[in-house]
Structure 1
């Protein structure tokens, strides 16, 4: 297919210099330049297939973007397929399922399911794309109770390298189904999926926030680590430490403050009793723990909604060695030279259950994420020594949390999973058409 034929088959095709090109390639991550030769703004699976056919004929690699939260790094050339215009959501309240198109964000799915007393296994940010999140595994708000989002996918609609649109299920194409869920975007372009919903209408959640200059962050971390050994799998939580700059655009209560917090999401009835030990860590300057409708669950983490530059990575660890993470906090705290975010997620519970997909390292007990609001070189100066502190307990890295470091593939999968993924890649995309 020639470019003029692609333009005839697709509503939006842009090249560098065209009006709208810069807006189309822009994403949530602003630190990495994307300069594809051709951008296709797809509005249907047929347009995705046309873009794939064009790229294959032109010998150009293909990348896909919905929201741009998970960019693996900078690149130039190839074909970028943007899917944000494919934004349909359909709820089946009887079957407890949702059909979501490629560009749908989690906030849309939460809003559509909430009237039926149902919830998806979404992440902490309503602006993240549902499909990309799930293909990377999907560590969500209720993960310890229900598992990864990938564990609840019924089927996927995907355009593969041969230009075919397939409905992939565990029965129809078990190897491709297994690999897509956890294997990321390198096997095709998913244009939609059917996911299971869970019967959760409200939860007990929020955060306890401490001033890290008044309360020792390492002491809060130690309290948190001991506490995680006592809680049921119906409770999902994380620890975070963020030194905010004294910047005018921030809320007054955060400006110049080193915020150390514990976030909680719990579907049981005795939340106040369970969180009581956390309040003993010291005086909290903010306490938002409360009962809330599930539609307010994004307020637990209050993730930033404004695109920004960041670089980081993650480590799935077998145990949380408090001393090592305390040294990480020292390296990434107010004296780091750049604003850094440390987040520690408790794993286990349903996340440890085997499932028919490629999500690795289910035996891990914690996930540690480190992100610097800086360019790659400056971020690695800070973060590489911090990750070295975690190395003795590190099992591997998490695909969804390789913040700009996704161009480094080592550690993303264990050896057996990598070997099986390579076999599926060889069968469905032997020319390595799909990148990223």
Structure 2
């Protein structure tokens, strides 16, 4: 059957799902429910009719088949990043207990859907290997990778999704499949970039890179020097080889434990840098940024890959965040002026973070196998993050996007989409057609809630 109308929660016998699975089933009102559904962004109200914390892949199979029998739709949640309230109203399947980690010294890894990058970073380090992890290693691997996976070495090595060897997934028809470039190649295409549109990933295998160390970190300036530093960054990054990946971010960090005193309670600008070549060459390349303005904190140095979180300095703790963003076709002096008019010195911006990443390099080149990632032509990405409880933060974020509209590109990064409607904006028409065709094959009854945005 095709799911045209979902059941109400009172109609669904969730005790049946509980009997079929090893993991924990909970509904609203039960003590364990809130802990299971709570995402990293605590501003997003995730309140499904029921949640299953899957114990293994068979639990996921049972959940998808149960949902189909009872006219429900399913949404996966691995580690809790990137939730959308509109997509989590029926059955939520949490996969954080799928915690397998195996690193092969010859250069690849296999992990369960609940694993975060830190465990792979630590397991790979003794072999001089590194994964294409995210800007913080506390992020889950599956959600990040199925959305493409833009990390701090992207200009050197490309996207995390380009390194995928195999994916094990329970598709919307309730089947557990192993997907590779030669086994279900249409699904292999769709899962790498298509997020959770077609199924619930239970395990993923991917190549690692030989990168025991890097030269990089974050270099901090006072916000009053933002215009000069950004102008220097524009010229410097335009000449940067692919061994270098860089971004800058305007921060307004609170005066709280863990924030260095020289950065707290003021507008600052951080230039982030990762150089994958020799440390001597990286230091020489970065000298121009050190000379661009007086430095208030310098954390750029030769480091083991295990220190990769020092580059973006993203927060670890759950946060009530409002996020917005897009991709840019270029970042000109006029773009910088438009951005600083709303976020620079004297602008009274309510945003905690305004980030611009340079793309290009290996990011721009298709991987060995085609994928559903359609944003390769983007030259820069823009991300705006504010505390949702601050009055006016959403309107201000919208004003920032409006100000940079002349430079906005065609296709959003899938991992930087924050509403269901924005998902479609991440794909060109050819990719959308392939995703829809795969959905008809692997989820003909429309069980996967995220896949509904393709309709």
* Fold equivalence (TM over 0.5): yes
1:85 aligns with 2:105: no
SS in 1 for 2:210: coil
Q: Indicate the larger mover: 323-332 or 304-313.
A: 323-332
What corresponds to 1:400 in structure 2? Answer: 415
What corresponds to 1:47 in structure 2? Answer: 59
Q: Identify if the C-alpha distance between structure 1 residues 131 and 82 changes in structure 2 by more than 3 Å, giving closer, same or farther.
A: same
Q: Indicate the larger mover: 417-426 or 131-140.
A: 417-426
What corresponds to 1:244 in structure 2? Answer: 253
| TM norm structure 1 | 0.95
Is the Cα contact below 8 Å between 2:342 and 2:400 reproduced in 1?
A: yes
Q: Identify if the C-alpha distance between structure 1 residues 165 and 410 changes in structure 2 by more than 3 Å, giving closer, same or farther.
A: closer
Distance 1:157 1:75 in 2: 22
What corresponds to 2:315 in structure 1? Answer: 304
CA drift of 1:247 comes to: 5.1
Out of 3, 18, 28, the residue aligned to residue 16 of structure 1 is: 28
Matches within 5 A, 1:31-70: 31-70=43-82
Q: Identify if the C-alpha distance between structure 1 residues 411 and 97 changes in structure 2 by more than 3 Å, giving closer, same or farther.
A: same
| TM norm structure 2 | 0.91
CA drift of 1:225 comes to: 1.0
After superposition, give the CA deviation of every residue in 1:19-74 in whole Å (9 maximum; x if it has no partner).
21101001111111111111100011001111111111111111111121111335
What corresponds to 1:151 in structure 2? Answer: 162
Q: Identify if the C-alpha distance between structure 1 residues 381 and 129 changes in structure 2 by more than 3 Å, giving closer, same or farther.
A: same
Is the Cα contact below 8 Å between 2:173 and 2:444 reproduced in 1?
A: no
SS in 2 for 1:20: helix
Q: Identify if the C-alpha distance between structure 1 residues 408 and 323 changes in structure 2 by more than 3 Å, giving closer, same or farther.
A: same
Out of 380, 383, 402, the residue aligned to residue 388 of structure 1 is: 402
Paired residues, number: 432
What corresponds to 1:129 in structure 2? Answer: 140
After superposition, give the CA deviation of every residue in 1:273-322 in whole Å (9 maximum; x if it has no partner).
10011112100100011111111111122210010111222222221123
Q: Indicate the larger mover: 405-414 or 349-358.
A: 405-414
What corresponds to 1:199 in structure 2? Answer: 210
Aligned-residue CA RMSD (Å)? 1.8
CA drift of 1:329 comes to: 2.7
After superposition, give the CA deviation of every residue in 1:85-135 in whole Å (9 maximum; x if it has no partner).
1111101112x1100100000001101111111000001111100011000
1:358 aligns with 2:372: yes
1:221 aligns with 2:238: no
Is the Cα contact below 8 Å between 1:399 and 1:406 reproduced in 2?
A: no
Unaligned runs of 5+ in 2: 1-11, 451-455
Distance 2:167 2:54 in 1: 17
Matches within 5 A, 1:163-202: 163-202=174-213
After superposition, give the CA deviation of every residue in 1:126-184 in whole Å (9 maximum; x if it has no partner).
11000110000000121111100000000000001111100001111111110110011
1:424 aligns with 2:438: yes
Q: Identify if the C-alpha distance between structure 1 residues 322 and 425 changes in structure 2 by more than 3 Å, giving closer, same or farther.
A: farther
Q: Identify if the C-alpha distance between structure 1 residues 260 and 118 changes in structure 2 by more than 3 Å, giving closer, same or farther.
A: same
Q: Indicate the larger mover: 70-79 or 250-259.
A: 70-79
Distance 1:257 1:100 in 2: 40
What corresponds to 2:271 in structure 1? Answer: 262
